Amino acid sequence: MTSVPISIHSPSVLRERAQALLQAKGASLTAAKDPSTALRVLFDLASSPDTAHDALALLHELQVHQVELDLQNEELQRSRAELESAWAYQLQWHDASPSAQLVLDEAGCLLECNAGALKSLNQDIQHVLGKRLETWLAAGDVPGVQAWLAVAQKSDQPVSLCLQLHAADQTMRSVCAAAQANPMAPGVLVAWVDLPSIS
């Protein structure tokens, strides 16, 4: 699984985007091109008795708005840190699960898996992504597994099946697997645990 970073733009980027939006909406941008010149215009308005009250009121509103923006930015940064922490926790939990967990697309190709699945298949992530589950099955088991996955794609309840998996090191393991429809995208969620060996 991979995380998607949340993008927090710098003040200069936000300013450029705000100006572009104002221009797109046809707003007048005849004022100064930089903040210091804009403040000079505001100061000149405040210096005139006819416009001083309105200029000071405008300045106060701008200051309040700036503080609001600063508080919103702080909250966004805090929320981002909390989300990243929660995401890291979920990834650790997912990888520490005692069961192998996989996400398959509609065609049965592997989109995601946890560390337990990689260990069970004795392969690294680059060698399993995009592969069909049948890659690790005996040829005779493929039709039964395809039928199982087809039923699972239509089920919101787990559908179980015992499988014989052939790992990359040529070892064979018996697993008890369960699959059900992925509630977030077309495809199937699959999990399995090793069956205890009988000696």
pLDDT (tens digit per residue) in 72-128? 999 999 999 999 999 999 888 888 889 999 999 999 999 999 999 999 999 999 999
Domain 98-194 homologous superfamily, CATH: PAS domain (3.30.450.20)
Task: Return d(Cα 101, Cα 190) in angstroms, integer.
Answer: 6
Per the prediction, the chain carries an average pLDDT of 83
Conformation bin of residue 66: beta by default, left when phi > 0, alpha when psi is -120 to 50: alpha
pLDDT at 10 over 70: no
What stretches of the chain adopt beta strand conformation (E)? 100-104, 110-113, 159-166, 172-181, 188-194
Give the residue carrying structure tokens 């059900």: 180
Amino acid identity, position 196: P
pLDDT of residue 104: 96
Q: What are the domain boundaries of the chain?
A: 11-95, 98-194
pLDDT (tens digit per residue) in 45-65? 777 788 778 777 877 788 888
